[in-house]
Amino acid sequence: MSNAIELTNLNTLINDIKILTGSINILDKAVQSKDETSRITSLDAINFRVREIAKLSAKTEKLSFSIDGILIELSSPNPNIKNLHELMDTQLEALRKMALSEILNLSVE
């Protein structure tokens, strides 16, 4: 894959991680305020964005994002927010750091 395409994919991945993080924050606020509409909307957004991040990370050779546990939790009738954080937070931060590192490496080449 050419550097330009890989850089584009990595930048898109970073952007998707930012969007997903925002959706997670909205979910947290919706749960606290007991706003059912925002909770459902943010869960849908998280479901979509997790799948997009998995597709993008699969396009790169060095990055991976495991979504099986996340999708199982999201498919439950009442997803546990704490479990979602445990499944995503560390993994997303590691993925973000690896993507940024790879962007820097490719930019130098």
- Is the entire prediction scored with pTM above 0.75? yes
Q: For 57-85, how does the pLDDT look when each residue is reduced to its tens digit (9 = 90+)?
A: 888 877 888 899 999 999 998 899 999 99
CB 63 within 8 A of CB 95: yes
Close Cβ partners of 50 (under 8 Å, ≥ 6 residues apart): 20, 65, 67, 70, 71, 74, 88
Arch. (CATH architecture) of 3-104: Up-down Bundle (1.20)
Q: For 7-41, how does the pLDDT look when each residue is reduced to its tens digit (9 = 90+)?
A: 999 999 999 999 999 999 999 999 999 999 999 99
In angstroms, rounded to a whole number, what is the distance separating the alpha carbons of residues 10 and 96?
Answer: 9
Dihedral over alpha carbons 27, 73, 59, 7 (to 10 degrees): 20
